[in-house]
Every structure is written in structure tokens, then in C-alpha cells.
Amino acid sequence: MSTFLIIGASGTVGAPLARQLQAAGHSVRRATSRAPQAADQVQLDLQTQAGTATALAGVDAAFVMAPPGHVRQDLLIKPFVDAARAAGVSKVVLMSAMGANAFETAPLRQAELHLEHSGLAWNVIRPNWFMQNFNTFWLHGIQTQGKILLPTGQAKGSFIDARDIAAVAEVLLKTSTFDNQAFDLTGAEALDHAQVAAVLSRVTGRSIAYEEITPEALRPGLLQAGLPADYADFLLMILAAFKDGHAERTTDAVQRIAGRAPGTLEQYARDYRAAWV
């Protein structure tokens, strides 16, 4: 069996990915920026690259993503890719974001290009907006006001369940079938936020609505939540791209790679119902 290093192993994608690989009998090394609390954890700080060589020793393939809150993702990912190559890692799967390749100078795109030109076997996955944002980032407005409060107009997004991203990443790490390709990952359908609110209302029995707010109204809440100012502005920028219709496209990548249709928002809402009731 193989040994896999998972960056972000306690996160929305990394946690199910680690569980799936372990269930399949593989050795999983879960990276953490804090002191390890379990035998399968290893300390690694992408900001300083401290612990990188130790974390990568003996690893067959690695899953990497930039920690939230950082706008210059390339400064974190490029050194990691170089270290992976030096350590003899065979493959790196990078989780980027849908739309990251729209501009060649964008930091995430620069990270993608560095991996593509590294000489390693690679995959880049670019998920659309996570369904799980509604039980995390956008939860406060739902809990306190019964509203999804975002500056996205009536635009639609093909929201994806993070568990589907993990399923795709598992296949890409374990096999060479799709090597050296990038994939945009989406759910099966595009919904606007009013439609999302209707699904959450139906599943929870609560009255949940969508209310459009201005970016200026959202920004203080992002800062109060502890986001750095530059990252808050980055989020507002990509929410503006959502409003302009750039999140509506759907792809068949989950079906092609994971071998099953992506989960629906209805199923996600049932599974996470406890978050809103």
C-alpha cells in the first residue's frame, strides 16, 4: 500500500480524503501546523516550510492546498512542490479553485503552472463554491436572521459537495489514469441563492431566505470573523465574479473520475441539517 501526505487534513476536503484513503488500507500522514496530537499527524508549516522535508520523507503522493486566509498562495505552494520533487515524491495533487486559470498572473494560477512544469506527475482540481459554506462561512446569518446574506444577485452557482472533491482527489492520488490534467469540479446543477434558501427551508422546516447585500455591508463581518483585510477583499472579488455569472458552468468531471454523479444540494442539506436547526 502507498503512503500519502494530506495538507489540510482536518479541513472540509482533507478530513474525508484522509478517512477514505485509510479505509482503503493506505498509510496517511496528516499534516498540521500545530504540535501533533495523533500518531498519524506530522507538523508542517507551509508559511515557513518548517517540517516539510520530514513530512515528505517516504511519501508516494501528496495532496496540497493553500490554507485559507492567504492571498499569495503561490508563495506557499511553490516551495512545497520543489520540496516534494527533492524528496522523491511521485505525484502531487493540488486543490486550486474554479476560475483560478482565468488570469495567468493570478497567484493560484502561478502555483498551478509551477506544479505543471515541475517534472512530477500532477493533477490540479479546481472546485466551484462548496455546499459546506452554508454550514460554515455563511452560517451566522442563517442562524441569527434566517437569511443567506451575500452580494451575489440572482446569479447561479454549480455548488459542489466537498465530499465529492475528496472522492475525486482519492482517485487521482491512487491512480495514474488522469495524470497531468486539470479538472474543474462542480455539482450537477446550478442554483441561485434563493433556490438554495428554499432547499434549506424545506429540509429544516425553518423559514430561510436569501437577501442580497452590498460588498461594503459584508466586509465588516468578514473582518470580524478574523479574516485578514487582503483576504476579505479577495473574497469580495470572487463573489463579484459569482454575481457576474462565472460560477454557473457545470462539468462532468466528478462522474468521469469518481464514477458517480455528484451529490445534490438536497442530500447535502439532509446530511448537515443539524447545523441549521
Q: If we measure between CA atoms, which residue out of 55, 65, 114 comes closest to residue 89?
A: 55
pLDDT of residue 175: 97
Q: Which architecture, in CATH terms, is 3-127?
A: 3-Layer(aba) Sandwich (3.40)
> How many residues are given for the chain?
277
- pLDDT tens sequence across 181-197: 999 999 999 999 999 99
Q: How far apart are CA 34 and CA 41, in angstroms?
A: 10
pLDDT of residue 98: 97
Between the CA of residue 68 and those of 8, 73, 76, 229, what are the distances in Å?
A: 10, 9, 11, 13
- pLDDT tens sequence across 228-245: 999 999 999 999 999 999
Per-residue pLDDT at 76 exceeds 90? yes
pLDDT of residue 149: 98
Could you state, in order of their start, the residue ranges of all structural domains in the chain?
3-127, 128-160+186-248+264-277
What is the chain written as a DSSP string? Answer: --EEEETTTTSTTHHHHHHHHHHTT-EEEEEESS---STTEEE-BTTTTBTHHHHHTT-SEEEE-PPTT-S-HHHHHHHHHHHHHHTT--EEEEE--TTGGGSTTSHHHHHHHHHHTSSSEEEEEEE-SBGGGGGTTTHHHHHHHSEEEES-TT-EE--B-HHHHHHHHHHHHH-STTTTEEEEE--SS-EEHHHHHHHHHHHHSS--EEEE--HHHHHHHHHHTT--HHHHHHHHHHHHHHHTTTT----SHHHHHHSSPPPPHHHHHHHTGGGT-
- pLDDT tens sequence across 135-153: 999 999 999 999 999 999 9
Between the CA of residue 38 and those of 16, 50, 63, 221, what are the distances in Å?
A: 17, 19, 19, 34
Cβ atoms of 228 and 69 closer than 8 Å: yes
Cβ atoms of 187 and 263 closer than 8 Å: yes
The share of the chain scoring above pLDDT 90, in percent, equals 97
Q: How far apart are CA 153 and CA 260, in angstroms?
A: 31
Q: If we measure between CA atoms, which residue out of 168, 181, 123 comes closest to residue 21?
A: 168
Strands 191-192 and 156-157 come out as antiparallel
CATH homologous superfamily for 128-160+186-248+264-277? UDP-galactose 4-epimerase, domain 1 (3.90.25.10)
Mean pLDDT calculated for residue range 209-220: 97
Q: Quote the cell numbers at residue 156.
A: 447561479
